[in-house]
Amino acid sequence: MIDERTLEKEALAEIGRRGIAETLSYVGSNSRYYQRVFKELHARPEDFSDLDAFRQFPLTTKQDVSGSIRDFWCVEEQRVVDISTTSGTTGHPTLYPMTYGDIERLGVNEYLSFRCAGLTEHDTVILAVTMDRCFMAGLAYYEGLTRIGATTIRVGSGPYGMLLDFLERVRPTAIVSVPSYLRKIGLYAQENGLDLASSPVNRLICIGEPIREPNFSLNPLGQQIEQLWGARVYSTYGITELAISFCECDAAGGGHLHPELIYAEIVDEKGHPVPEGEIGELVGTTIGVQAMPIVRFATGDCSFIQRERCACGRWTPRLGPIVGRKRHLMKIKGTSVYPAAVQRVLDSLPQVREYVMVVRSVAALSDELTVMVALQGEANTGADLVRQHLQAALKVTPVVKVVSMEEIERLQDIQHLRKKRVFIDER
């Protein structure tokens, strides 16, 4: 295993070039989908081994994958030992096969990521994440923690009682979970007179939801979690199709990429690289994946990459906070709005218990956003407050509708999906 802390920029570049060449050669020999792509381009895998040429290779979209999923498989079914799926929050869940080697790669990725966050063999870690329902991340986190040698407690994301009981009985030092779940537990503990800040938990590894602004400061959700728990929070980003995740270090300057496992780019609308530090769409190429490697996969997530040396000493590139999803961008009364901007406002208001955003098209290039909120306290006063804060932050005012918690839970469809659904796109 490569020690990323000792790698210099030149070594990182060579690892990337070599990894791209290996992946191109592998898919050229084993993937029916990419064999068709090479044939249509009248080209061979080695024609794209140079980085400038590689950036001309066509992007692979989610529609490409879901439309011909079996053509992406590169191994016979007998070698597949696990099948995971994407979350399904933005479409029909995609099947993702893995070999023993792929699961080993997952474990290595999380070993490297958790090491960035400072976890060691002396830690006891609660995994408050879904391990069933074909969830790749839960498996990956477990594999990574066992490689570190940490004690792992697979509590899951169910009722709060089990997690709070383990806080008392086992005295864990870290928790891996979704931020909104950590906030709910924190508020529950506060209401019941429990002081989470007195627990030995000193690290909260936050998955699945953003906790940082584009300038790397904590957003309202991240601030609230840190205050409720009295613990340091760490942001992560992961995506099933690339079988990868990145975690920030103590410097909190973005999630460190692992060059031996992924090659990442930030591109514009035409798929061309944007200048360093500018926002664009994250595109990734897997390195070392056996069952279902993907070349230049367009994630739909908009962010930026930092390539200067991190304060922790690593030269590995760092992915900035996700500012939104490309397909979720809304045009409301002529103003461009990402759902994440609405979430930041709602997460900052203590009166808001839960929420769901619903967007519909009302005309060409014009959308209507309805924000459904479950509130604490007087409904009319609370709704006016929500409107005022949204207007101040967005410069436009969406429709605000007060509903019951039962209605919110029905819209979030929590039992069906692994992730809490807060944005419903009906355009």
Domain of residue 38, CATH code? 3.40.50.12780
Written as six digits, the tokens of 84 are 């995971």
Looking at residue 115, what is its pLDDT? 96
Other CB atoms closer than 10 Å to residue 76's CB: what's the count? Answer: 8
Asked which of 290, 324, 358 is the last residue of a domain, the reply is: 324
407 with 384, same domain: the answer is yes
The maximal CA–CA distance of the chain, rounded, in angstroms, is: 68
Closest CA to 18 of 47, 43, 51, 41: 51
Closest CA to 342 of 422, 268, 414, 267: 422
Looking at residue 85, what is its pLDDT? 84
Looking at residue 388, what is its pLDDT? 93
Interacting residues of 132 by C-beta distance below 8 A, sequence separation 6+: 138
Task: Residue 398: give its domain's CATH number.
Answer: 3.30.300.30
Q: Are 386 and 400 in contact (CB under 8 A)?
A: yes
Please state whether beta strands 174-177 and 151-153 pair in parallel, antiparallel, or not at all (unpaired). unpaired
Counted domains in the chain = 2
44 with 169, same domain: the answer is yes
Asked which of 302, 324, 346 is the last residue of a domain, the reply is: 324
Looking at residue 87, what is its pLDDT? 64
32 with 167, same domain: the answer is yes
Compute the Cα dihedral for 415, 419, 421, 425 and give only its sign. negative
- Judged on CB neighbours under 10 Å (0-12, 13-18, 19+), 127 is buried
Closest CA to 346 of 303, 408, 300, 299: 408
d(CA 123, CA 174): 7
312 with 352, same domain: the answer is no
The domain of 32 spans 1-324
344 with 292, same domain: the answer is no
At position 193, the amino acid (one-letter code) is G
User: Which pTM was predicted?
Assistant: 0.83
348 with 318, same domain: the answer is no
310 with 375, same domain: the answer is no
319 with 343, same domain: the answer is no
d(CA 74, CA 86): 19
Concatenating the DSSP letter of every residue in 28-81 gives HHH-HHHHHHHHHHT--GGGG-SHHHHTTSPPBPHHHHHHTHHHH--S-GGG--
199 with 51, same domain: the answer is yes
Asked which of 277, 304, 324 is the last residue of a domain, the reply is: 324
| Residues in the chain where the model's pLDDT stays below 70 | 87-92, 364-365, 414-419
115 SS3 class: helix
Written as six digits, the tokens of 158 are 């169910």
304 with 383, same domain: the answer is no
84 with 124, same domain: the answer is yes
255 with 320, same domain: the answer is yes
Q: What is the DSSP letter of 173?
A: S
Looking at residue 134, what is its pLDDT? 79
Closest CA to 91 of 61, 59, 132, 129: 61
Other CB atoms closer than 10 Å to residue 206's CB: what's the count? Answer: 25
